[in-house]
Amino acid sequence: MALTESEYIWMDGARVPWREAQVHVLSHGLHYGTGVFEGIRAYPTADGPALLRLDEHLDRLFRSAKMLRMTLPHGKEELRAATLELVRANGHRSCYVRQLAHLGYGVMGVDPTGAPVHVSIASWEWGAYLDGADRGVRLMTSSWRRNDPSVVPTAAKATGPYLNSALAKLEARDAGFDEAVLLSTDGYVSECSGENIFVRRGDVLYTPPSSAGALEGITQDSVTALATDLGLTVRRENLLRSDLYAADEMFLCGTAAEVTPVRSVDNREIGEPGPVTGKIRDAFTAAVTGADERYRHWLTYVG
Ligand code: PPE
């Protein structure tokens, strides 16, 4: 996906021009995937741009780092302030923020001991993440299984394991689909290459648990709260591939993808975006733009 450049990137404590935010080719993270990251969106509100669930994202960044035994050289408050300042300096109305902590240059070999930890924050304007987001996306079950929690800590939003997502995404695109669904090694539905999954069957919304290798999505949590407030029942349960085929409605959610309806899975039609998906999308929009006061605590105004 093409990238729209902004003016600045925050790198190791200082704001630098976008094109100067560079690393050495012998950076440990580049060779071995030793890094953790976050994606956060800022939405336009009546009081200027506001970051959605900034604290939850920062907390997950630190949790992910802990799982990889990386000690970040900056505290949560510092990264929080740096993020707000960057979005302000880049002058966005709305944007996507990417925070990254990676192991840098200084040691070679898999053993990460002694490699310096670098932290960067970038922001850019990013529209729809998935092709076909409005009409509903067409999914394909990947031949690649999701990273297994016994192989890598799947609850960490770590860079290396995203090779699994990239392979699944490429395979789906090559086959003419918009996005890939990955199953766990046990054959349960896990998640898509960059989104969590929700399925409606009758009056109940189902979403897979993290034990199926899915990331504990912050948007998944937001959608659960919105759906519950709409009077729907949400259950975190293992789903079979056939549960997707039998869905009354299905949608994906993630920071980049927001709430995206699913039109078909493996060429089994689910149909046009359904009524519950529509309600949740509307509720999500009202929450993230500050129009619905009940969710104002999810927003951090850039100021
Ligand atoms: N699962 C995966 C595998 C995933 O990458 C994401 C986010 C989610 C679930 C949803 O998590 P959350 O953002 O907390 O609701 N994917 C991020 C990166 C996508 C990319 O291509 O890069 C994102 O949406 O920011």
User: Does 123 sit in the ligand 1 pocket, CB within 6 Å?
Assistant: no
Helices then strands (H, E): number in the chain?
7, 16
Query: Pick from 302, 177, 195: which is nearest to 258 by CA?
Result: 195
What's the pLDDT tens digit per position in 62-75? Answer: 999 999 999 999 99
Question: Does the pLDDT value for residue 189 go beyond 90?
Answer: yes
Question: Does the pLDDT value for residue 2 go beyond 90?
Answer: no
Work out the end-to-end distance of the chain between its first and last CA atoms, rounded to an integer number of angstroms.
30
Q: Are 209 and 220 in contact (CB under 8 A)?
A: no
Q: What's the pLDDT at 286?
A: 98
Q: What's the pLDDT at 97?
A: 98
What's the pLDDT tens digit per position in 248-294? Answer: 999 999 999 999 999 999 999 999 999 999 999 999 999 999 999 99
DSSP single-letter state for residue 78: H
Query: Pick from 269, 285, 165, 273: which is nearest to 223 by CA?
Result: 285
How is residue 231 written in tokens?
A: 């009077």
Cα of 175 vs centre of ligand 1, distance in Å, is 22
Residue whose CA is at the smallest distance from ligand 1 atom 25: 39
Q: Would residue 25 be called left, alpha or beta, if left means φ above 0 and alpha means ψ between -120 and 50 degrees?
A: alpha
The one catalytic residue in 66, 157, 169, 279 is 157
Closest atom of ligand 1 relative to the 222 alpha carbon: 15
Cα of 168 vs centre of ligand 1, distance in Å, is 14
Q: What's the pLDDT at 133?
A: 87
Cα of 256 vs centre of ligand 1, distance in Å, is 7
User: Does 219 sit in the ligand 1 pocket, CB within 6 Å?
Assistant: yes
Q: What's the pLDDT at 1?
A: 81
Closest atom of ligand 1 relative to the 257 alpha carbon: 24
What's the pLDDT tens digit per position in 4-61? Answer: 999 999 999 999 999 999 999 999 999 999 999 999 999 999 999 999 999 999 999 9
Q: What's the pLDDT at 13?
A: 98
| Residue 272 identity (one-letter amino acid) | E
What's the pLDDT tens digit per position in 286-302? Answer: 999 999 999 999 999 99
Mean local confidence (pLDDT), 141-146:
98
Q: Report the residue among 97, 170, 195 best suited for mutation to probe ligand 1: largest number of ligand atoms under 8 A from its CB.
A: 195
Q: What's the pLDDT at 18?
A: 98
Our answer to whether residue 157 is catalytic in this structure is yes
Cα of 162 vs centre of ligand 1, distance in Å, is 10
User: Does 224 sit in the ligand 1 pocket, CB within 6 Å?
Assistant: no
Question: Does the pLDDT value for residue 186 go beyond 90?
Answer: yes
Closest atom of ligand 1 relative to the 218 alpha carbon: 14
Cα of 255 vs centre of ligand 1, distance in Å, is 6
What's the pLDDT tens digit per position in 207-241? Answer: 999 999 999 999 999 999 999 999 999 999 999 99
Q: What's the pLDDT at 203?
A: 92
Question: Does the pLDDT value for residue 84 go beyond 90?
Answer: yes
User: Does 190 sit in the ligand 1 pocket, CB within 6 Å?
Assistant: no
Mean local confidence (pLDDT), 89-105:
98
Work out the pLDDT band at 143, boundaries 50, 70, 90: very high
CB neighbours of residue 103 within 10 Å = 24
Q: Could you give the CA distance from residue 239 to residue 243 in angstroms, rounded to a whole number?
A: 6
Q: Are 45 and 289 in contact (CB under 8 A)?
A: yes
What's the pLDDT tens digit per position in 103-133? Answer: 999 999 999 999 999 999 999 999 999 988 8
Pairing of strands 137-141, 258-265: parallel
Which domains, from first to last, does the chain contain?
A: 8-124 (3.30.470.10), 137-288 (3.20.10.10)
3-class state of residue 21 by DSSP: coil
